[in-house]
Amino acid sequence: MTTSTAIFWPVLAQVLLTYVIYVTVSSRRIGAVKAGSAKPSDFKVPSIEPEPSATAVRNLSNQFELPVLFFAACLSLYVTGGAGVAAVIVAWAFVIARVAHSYVHITSNRIRIRRSLFIVSLAINLLQWLLLAIHIA
């Protein structure tokens, strides 16, 4: 495996996280229906979401926000030949921060911790873009 293709392992890990959140949402929705706190028809309107699955649904939305910039940075680094060791390490750091953020979001949902983890992942993503800028400069 060359260093440049190693950038795709954290990309795949981030994609896996998204699928894990999809499964979590589905599981919690099914659990809400079985518990009687929701009906299958409740899911026709996006604004109706049972308490048990609401945070998981919001976290799923999060997977299509900041991670989009992560994917773009990784692909840009790869295409320009800038996916070296530093870029791969930074990409893994982003994924670790996002996994931690998701874990907090779908479990305790402690806002202070969740916000801090978001800021960490935001800063890491900024670093990715700075690495790209330096590489192409």
Residue 30: pLDDT over 90: yes
pTM to 2 decimal places: 0.94
Phi, psi of 49, rounded to the nearest 5 degrees = -145, 125
pLDDT in tens, 38-49: 888 888 876 678
Single-letter amino acid, residue 79: V
Give the residue ranges of DSSP H helices in the chain.
3-6, 8-35, 51-62, 66-79, 85-106, 111-136
Structural domains in the chain, CATH included, are 3-136 (1.20.120.550)
- Residues present in the chain in total: 137
Q: Which two tokens stand for residue 98?
A: 């996002």
CA-CA distances (angstroms) from residue 26 to 19, 52, 79? 11, 11, 36
pLDDT in tens, 65-121: 999 999 999 999 999 999 999 999 999 999 999 999 999 999 999 999 999 999 999
